[in-house]
Amino acid sequence: MPPDKDKNRKGPSNPRDPQDRRNFIYYYGLALLVVLLLNWFVFPRMFEPPVELTSYSEFLSHVEKGEVAAVDLQPNQIVYRIGEGEETRLYKTGVVEDPGLAERLQQADIPFAAEIQETPNVFLTLLLSYGIPILFFIIIGRMIARNMAGKMGGGGLSFGGGQTGKMYVPDDSDKKSFADVAGQDEAKESLLEIVDYLARPQRYEAVGARCPKGILLVGPPGTGKTLLAKAVAGEAHVPFFSISGSEFVEMFVGRGAARVRELFDQANKKAPCIVFIDEIDTIGKKRDGGVIGNDEREQTLNQLLAEMDGFEANNGVVILAATNRPETLDPALLRPGRFDRQVPVELPDLNGRVAIFRVHAKGYQMEEGIDYDLLGRATAGASGADIANIVNEGALRAVRMNRNKVSQADLEESIEVVIAGQQRKNAILSDEEKRIIAYHEIGHALVAAKQTGSAPVHKITIVPRTSGALGYTMQVDEEEKSLVSKNDAFRKLATYAGGRAAEALVFGDITTGAANDIQQMTRVARAMITQYGMSDDFGMMAIEEQTNPYLQGGTVTNASQETLKDVDDQVKALVQKAYDTAYGILAEHRPLLDRLAEYLLEKETITGKEFMDIIEPERSETENETI
């Protein structure tokens, strides 16, 4: 690795650096200008008392009336005072050849004085007016500069004005490696080549191979894109500079292009190294040729494109970037020769979630026999950051319970806390409301249990949560599913409808408790018809397309109003069919529904095993109707 030319710099400025010398001259020139303006315009007006301008004849009139209290005869003007104390007013007038003025003032018994013109001490005047203020500005400026240098530590990528990027040194105690990254085996495999190139570039040069200039990590938030970049730096033992896209927008004001050039100059000095730009979509959005909302951002993007074209692929600088909105990036940024490779960092599968639980559990005191496989199945769709939060919530619960180790129950409860919030222990519900909620939740669970192929029930509770849920039913699949069949989707719709169907069957009335169920049913049913081609009428026609898939964005419609009306009719019919299916299942097993609801009212929370022990003897052997 080449020697670090900047390692002896103690602060943000270096007199030998032409850029710092220009900053030095600019700062003190500005300080001198401020002092001059203050002395010429501000200070004289601050210390001058308010004086009214009058004529010489009016001055004589005031003298004759005996209103003048004192007169100051100056070379270029006459200043006189009328009144005493708070009633004092000052006037000034021009000088007129009047030899009898002194005698007139003396006869009127008015005190007067004339200034004695002395030769001023030029050195003392300059010292007091300019020297001391300039010295004051210099002292304050040096104190600010020293303070900024102490905060920044002189490290990182230096941009004009003392701004720095955050530098991660692999030799630190928090050194990251691929062992710290779980659930992203495919992404790690794609990045191993970069690690090998940074560690042994001669192998690639001998063959004539070029390392990718830029690698784009794309995936949902919390999947470990930044952690992967740090692990690459740790494995390759090279410096790692982390810069956020929002910092670019903040820093590059007026000097965007120049500072981008400085970024690449600094990176070349630190080579071999890794520059990681997080949230690159902040500055890399598409240029659509319309009205420019942020011209500075576009200029910054143009310079970034030019610089990535200008530096050599084998100079030891690798640009890593991350985004969860790849569809918004400018195509020029993604072409080969700039960001040559895209590495998906997706949500982990079952094995990945189990591995992530084990990695995060190493930092905590855990009890023996933790079922990580169950935790992984209960957290389908969770990211690495979600799992880290779940493990930490479990540790916090163990502390609240006065235990020094985290148990299985702590982790399962923390999953519920992340999903539905903390338990509302002081929530006041009437007996009738509790009974309705119990039947509602048992309706979900019983419909799920009586349908072949539904996910097993893991837990049922009527304890309110801070998210607003008055109860919930948790289902946990026995195995990971990558595909959802049409029958699977319909069974999910029927399970959602089970709560409302139980209310209508038992009480002959319905409540607002099914609001979230209705939203979920409508969303799934609409997706079946418009996105997944599960409608007999529309077939494989794509009526809607999802936007921002990594951010769970909305949909864009590709159909006419007449088609959308037909879609609404089919969604309504599909939801109604699922409701009728759920109602029929509950009506057929009404005694079992009553028994389970009473048991849940007594216990408030029951496990999936307790639930199955009750319904197992009466489980029907007949399969329910599918689509």
Query: Could you read off the pLDDT of 78-115 as tens digits, one per residue?
Result: 888 887 766 778 888 888 877 778 878 877 778 877 65
Q: How far apart are CA 348 and CA 388, in angstroms?
A: 13
For the chain, how many helices (H) and strands (E)? 23, 18
- Dist. CA 171–CA 238, nearest whole Å: 9
What does the alpha-carbon distance between residue 339 and residue 194 come to, in Å, rounded to a whole number? 13
CATH of 431-618, one of 1.20.58.760, 1.10.3720.10, 1.10.260.30, 3.40.50.920: 1.20.58.760
Q: What is the mean pLDDT of the chain?
A: 80
Q: Which of 323, 289, 139 is nearest to 219 (CA)?
A: 323
pLDDT above 70 (res 77): yes
Q: Side-chain half-sphere of 579: how many Cα atoms within 13 Å?
A: 17
Spatial distance between the Cα atoms of 354 and 313, rounded to a whole number of angstroms: 38
Which pLDDT score, from 0 to 100, does residue 249 have? 64
Q: Is the pLDDT of residue 453 over 50?
A: yes
Q: How many CB atoms lie within 10 A of CB 591?
A: 9
| β-pair type (605-607, 457-461) | antiparallel
Q: What is the pLDDT of residues 308-334, one digit of tens each?
A: 876 666 677 888 999 988 888 888 888
- Pair of tokens at residue 202: 């001669």
Percent of the chain with pLDDT over 70: 77
| pLDDT of res. 341 | 87
| Cβ 626 vs Cβ 574: under 8 Å | no
Choose among 385, 384, 489, 500: nearest CA to 441. Answer: 500
The residue written with tokens 């496990």 in the block is: 607
Domain 350-420 indexed as CATH 2.40.70.10: no
pTM of the model: 0.68
Q: Is residue 465 within 8 Å of 472, Cβ to Cβ? A: yes
**CA-to-CA distance for 342 and 286, rounded, in angstroms?**
17
CATH class entry, domain 166-288+295-344: alpha beta
pLDDT at 597: 94
Q: How confident is the model at residue 531 (pLDDT cuts 50, 70, 90)?
A: very high
Domain segments of the chain as ranges: 49-114, 166-288+295-344, 350-420, 431-618
Q: Which residue has the tokens 């479990």?
A: 394
Predicted pLDDT of residue 574:
96
Calpha distance 466→462 (Å, rounded): 13
Pick from 226, 228, 215: which is nearest to 183 by CA?
A: 228
| Angstrom distance (rounded) from CA 492 to CA 505 | 20
Residue 290 has what pLDDT? 54
Per the structure block, which two tokens stand in for 382?
């969770």
Select which of 247, 279, 393, 441 is catalytic.
441
User: Rounded distance, CA 497 to CA 514, Å?
Assistant: 8
| Tokens coding 37 | 């303006």
Tokens 């057929």 correspond to: 588
Indicate if 247 belongs to the active site.
no
- Taking CA atoms, 239 is separated from 231, 268, 273, 344, in Å, by 11, 12, 5, 24
Q: Which residues contact 575 (CB under 8 A, 6 or more apart)?
A: 493, 497, 521, 522, 525
Q: Span 49-114: which CATH code?
A: 3.30.720.210
